Structure 1
Amino acid sequence: MAHIRKRGKTYSYTIDLGRDPVTGKRKQINKGGFIRKKDAEAEARKIESEMDDNKYIEPSKEIFSEFAGDWFYGHYQNRIKKTTVSNRAYLMERHILQNNLFSNKTISKIKASDIDAFYNQKIQEKYSTSYIRQMHQLLNQAFNQAVKWGKIASNPITDTDPPAVNYGEMFIWSFDEIHQFLNACRGERHYLTFLLAIYTGMRRGEILGLKWSDIDFDNKKIYVKRSLAHIPGHGYTLTTLKTKKSKRQIPISEFVLNELKVHKNTQYGWKELIGDLYEDQDLVIGTNEGTMQDPRNVNRVMKRLIKKAGVREIRFHDMRHTHASILISEGIDIVKISNRLGHANPKITYECYAHLLPNSDSDVADIFQDAIQNHTNDKK
């Protein structure tokens, strides 16, 4: 039975747990600081109930930063792709283990309010909402593991309020800008690179990881199977895709098919010119020697060609947004667009491009009025 007592202006409770079978010392749960007596009684009853049901977890005294570091480097990083480790490790060191309002707090005492304050801090520091959501996801995984390992009773992330991702931070080319840019690319080695980005919506890494064996010329389809990624200490490598939905087939037009054939003939000319020095890795987009293309070079070429074409400067990824926006403007079903882009589910596509979707509610009032009017006329 819990013992409630008043200390100064606040109340505290003590629950006796008996003696430790190893040390023989008496074990107790003590907590104070309650303004009202009934609040202390309520929490004490909750703990006693958990003890009766064998669900009580003794609060861990481990510091959050110590736990999080052990969890990430001793457990988590062994379960994710090597290409993901470096990005997550930087985020972990820069934001979760350091510059964190609760990094030196006991893990069992961290509350949702502490984490929300952390999110607010990152918002004030001008980090993007999508980046803060990555911090949120990493924290959620860490606290979930703490629950599984019996260090805390529940995950405080459940009650937090992370910022919604602002998908409006994108730039989209008009039809005229697309034509201007592609015309400026004609004759350039990366013409096909940019053409595929605009006409298929593929990610940069997916385009640079594309092989000729992935292209079905007879059925006019591209099979997306891998991506070019950077692993610190190892350089660029071809890796499997992150999600099952990313691995997909993309139907292509006759125009894109013909451009692929032209590029293949051009590439054959490079092979003939270089001879045995050509490293044939079956890549659609590679260097003149057949090796993997550094994405940074693609970005440099893109910036140069944007200036040449006189169009608005956008990121490579914005060509993917441009592709999606055109499909939306043409009334293509959002599920079909999601499948084409390789999103994990249509919800992501909808959230990303909701501001581009046409407003289909404008005729609702008239439809309702017509329904009422027709029913009234039928009664006459």
Structure 2
Amino acid sequence: MKGTVKKRGNTWTYIVDIGRDPITGKRRQKTKSGFPREKDADAALRKILTALDEDRFVDPSKESFSSYMEFWFTSHYQKRIKETTASSRKYLMDKHLIRENPFANKPLSKITTEDIDAFYNLKLDEEYSTSTIRKLHQLLNQAFGQAVKWKKISSNPVINADPPSVKKEEMKIWSFDEIDSFLNQCKGERHYLTFLLAIYTGMRKGELLGLKWSDIDFGKKSIRIQRSLSHIPNKGYLLSTPKTKKSKRQVPIPDSLVKELKAHKERQETQRKRLGEHYQDQDLVICTEIGTLQDPRNVLRVMKRISKAANVTSIRFHDIRHTHASILISEGVDIVRVAARLGHSDPTITLKNYAHLIPNQDDEVADIFHNAIQKSR
């Protein structure tokens, strides 16, 4: 790295080449003036040159936090995640980190851990969920971490910040009687199969609405989950690949569900013939009356209406998935198999959610250990 010291008026100035911008590739220089003596400017220059030689030098960024975030998001972050994830994260960033953020216009290099903690407390006061705040924490940590790598700042202020722990909502599930009441009330409805599939497979709402007939193997009695229906702002509902590798999976189904699927397929075929060219066949199992993608909001409205008529506990659609998993665990199915069926990326996620449902078998474990010792003698 090269540097020079020059006299400007009555004071001295150093000018040093600090390399190229890691993003734009443009040559960068740092200049500082106002030194009363030449040797003072020279000493300051040598300090910078040493830091540059040891790869320790950071030129504090003067750009605002908000302008950096927008650049980081579009040029780096969104290229590494799914489009559906990017759209939800973009909404979080625009709303909370730019429009409703006290330090949005503060220089990136001036933001402190105290600023970050105050931001989290502000969001808590505004009664945003702890889950939302943790997502904002993750975004901030990734953004500032990249700023360190790009040498825009010397350290990441988010590392020592203290986001709130996620408060888990109490899990609501249906009893066997409530499942029967709901399904009986639902018979004859267009979405009877939608809810039957949800209850018997534990599939996510998006996975159900993205299911195609080509994904169903009637001979092997299984469903291949290969895509999901997602909403992308300004584009609407689109089919996309599942968010994790484990989400792509095969789900075995019972004979009763195979029978219901075949009956549903026959009804759909009758509808297709009746509408002729007006039917837009997309091979979807769950679709509108003309064969197009089903808006999930309509499914939720139907669920709410039927739940009320059947006088069952009001739960979210996702709680049907919890109900499915809870029944399996209560019947003794091990966590690893439940995790595979649900498409969890890691069985520890399943264990974290449903550990309280696993039967207490401590006494049996004691006997098993004792018997093993006895056999070895």
Please report the TM-score for the alignment, with normalisation by the length of structure 1. Answer: 0.80
In the alignment, the residues of structure 2 paired with residue 280 and residue 180 of structure 1 have an alpha-carbon distance, to the nearest angstrom, of: 33
Name the counterpart of 2:42: none
1:20 is the counterpart of 2:16: yes
1:103 is the counterpart of 2:99: no
In the alignment, the residues of structure 2 paired with residue 48 and residue 352 of structure 1 have an alpha-carbon distance, to the nearest angstrom, of: 54
Judged with a 3 Å threshold, the aligned counterparts in structure 2 of structure 1 residues 169 and 50 are, in CA distance, closer, same or farther, namely farther
In the alignment, the residues of structure 2 paired with residue 86 and residue 273 of structure 1 have an alpha-carbon distance, to the nearest angstrom, of: 39
Judged with a 3 Å threshold, the aligned counterparts in structure 2 of structure 1 residues 150 and 260 are, in CA distance, closer, same or farther, namely same
In the alignment, the residues of structure 1 paired with residue 63 and residue 229 of structure 2 have an alpha-carbon distance, to the nearest angstrom, of: 40
Name the counterpart of 1:87: 88
Name the counterpart of 2:207: 206
Judged with a 3 Å threshold, the aligned counterparts in structure 2 of structure 1 residues 139 and 23 are, in CA distance, closer, same or farther, namely closer
1:167·1:352 contact (CA, 8 Å) conserved in 2? no
Secondary structure, counterpart of 1:133 in structure 2: helix
Name the counterpart of 1:318: 319
* 1:332-371 mapped onto 2 (5 Å cutoff): 332-360=333-361, 363=363, 367=366
Name the counterpart of 2:308: 307
* 1:260-339 mapped onto 2 (5 Å cutoff): 260-339=261-340
Please report the TM-score for the alignment, with normalisation by the length of structure 2. Answer: 0.80
In the alignment, the residues of structure 2 paired with residue 124 and residue 145 of structure 1 have an alpha-carbon distance, to the nearest angstrom, of: 29
Secondary structure, counterpart of 2:99 in structure 1: coil
Aligned alpha-carbon RMSD (Å): 3.0
Look up the equivalent residue of 2:315 and give its one-letter code: I
Secondary structure, counterpart of 2:246 in structure 1: coil
* 1:106-121 mapped onto 2 (5 Å cutoff): 106-121=107-122
Name the counterpart of 1:148: 149
Name the counterpart of 2:167: 166
In the alignment, the residues of structure 2 paired with residue 20 and residue 65 of structure 1 have an alpha-carbon distance, to the nearest angstrom, of: 29
Describe the superposition over 1:52-109 as per-residue Cα deviations: whole angstroms up to 9, x where unpaired.
6322323222221221122223443344333333322221111111322432333223
Name the counterpart of 1:36: none
Describe the superposition over 1:9-42 as per-residue Cα deviations: whole angstroms up to 9, x where unpaired.
xxxxxxxx964356764599xxxxxxxxxxxxxx
In the alignment, the residues of structure 2 paired with residue 24 and residue 64 of structure 1 have an alpha-carbon distance, to the nearest angstrom, of: 23
In the alignment, the residues of structure 2 paired with residue 180 and residue 49 of structure 1 have an alpha-carbon distance, to the nearest angstrom, of: 76
Judged with a 3 Å threshold, the aligned counterparts in structure 2 of structure 1 residues 153 and 359 are, in CA distance, closer, same or farther, namely farther
Judged with a 3 Å threshold, the aligned counterparts in structure 2 of structure 1 residues 253 and 69 are, in CA distance, closer, same or farther, namely same
2:14·2:31 contact (CA, 8 Å) conserved in 1? no
In the alignment, the residues of structure 1 paired with residue 30 and residue 192 of structure 2 have an alpha-carbon distance, to the nearest angstrom, of: 74
Name the counterpart of 2:20: none
In the alignment, the residues of structure 2 paired with residue 351 and residue 118 of structure 1 have an alpha-carbon distance, to the nearest angstrom, of: 29
Of stretches 331-340 and 96-105 in structure 1, the one that deviates more from structure 2 is 96-105
- Specify every segment of 5 or more residues in structure 1 that has no aligned partner in the other structure, as ranges: 1-16, 29-46
Secondary structure, counterpart of 1:222 in structure 2: strand
Look up the equivalent residue of 1:256 and give its one-letter code: L
Name the counterpart of 1:244: 245
In the alignment, the residues of structure 1 paired with residue 119 and residue 334 of structure 2 have an alpha-carbon distance, to the nearest angstrom, of: 38
Look up the equivalent residue of 1:252 and give its one-letter code: I
**Deviation at 1:202?**
0.7
Name the counterpart of 2:10: none
In the alignment, the residues of structure 2 paired with residue 337 and residue 23 of structure 1 have an alpha-carbon distance, to the nearest angstrom, of: 59
Name the counterpart of 2:57: 56
Secondary structure, counterpart of 1:158 in structure 2: coil
Name the counterpart of 2:73: 72
In the alignment, the residues of structure 1 paired with residue 31 and residue 229 of structure 2 have an alpha-carbon distance, to the nearest angstrom, of: 60
Describe the superposition over 1:306-345 as per-residue Cα deviations: whole angstroms up to 9, x where unpaired.
1111111111111111111112212222222222111221
1:334·1:349 contact (CA, 8 Å) conserved in 2? yes
In the alignment, the residues of structure 1 paired with residue 157 and residue 195 of structure 2 have an alpha-carbon distance, to the nearest angstrom, of: 45
Describe the superposition over 1:184-209 as per-residue Cα deviations: whole angstroms up to 9, x where unpaired.
11111100100111111111111000
1:210·1:226 contact (CA, 8 Å) conserved in 2? yes
Look up the equivalent residue of 1:167 and give its one-letter code: K
In the alignment, the residues of structure 2 paired with residue 262 and residue 192 of structure 1 have an alpha-carbon distance, to the nearest angstrom, of: 10
1:18·1:27 contact (CA, 8 Å) conserved in 2? no
Describe the superposition over 1:203-262 as per-residue Cα deviations: whole angstroms up to 9, x where unpaired.
111100000000111111110001111222222221111111111111111121111111
Judged with a 3 Å threshold, the aligned counterparts in structure 2 of structure 1 residues 157 and 337 are, in CA distance, closer, same or farther, namely farther
Seq. identity, %: 59
Secondary structure, counterpart of 1:307 in structure 2: helix
1:83·1:230 contact (CA, 8 Å) conserved in 2? yes
Judged with a 3 Å threshold, the aligned counterparts in structure 2 of structure 1 residues 50 and 169 are, in CA distance, closer, same or farther, namely farther
Name the counterpart of 2:236: 235
Judged with a 3 Å threshold, the aligned counterparts in structure 2 of structure 1 residues 121 and 335 are, in CA distance, closer, same or farther, namely farther
Of stretches 172-181 and 49-58 in structure 1, the one that deviates more from structure 2 is 49-58
Judged with a 3 Å threshold, the aligned counterparts in structure 2 of structure 1 residues 166 and 185 are, in CA distance, closer, same or farther, namely same
1:181 is the counterpart of 2:182: yes
Judged with a 3 Å threshold, the aligned counterparts in structure 2 of structure 1 residues 24 and 161 are, in CA distance, closer, same or farther, namely closer
Of stretches 83-92 and 261-270 in structure 1, the one that deviates more from structure 2 is 83-92
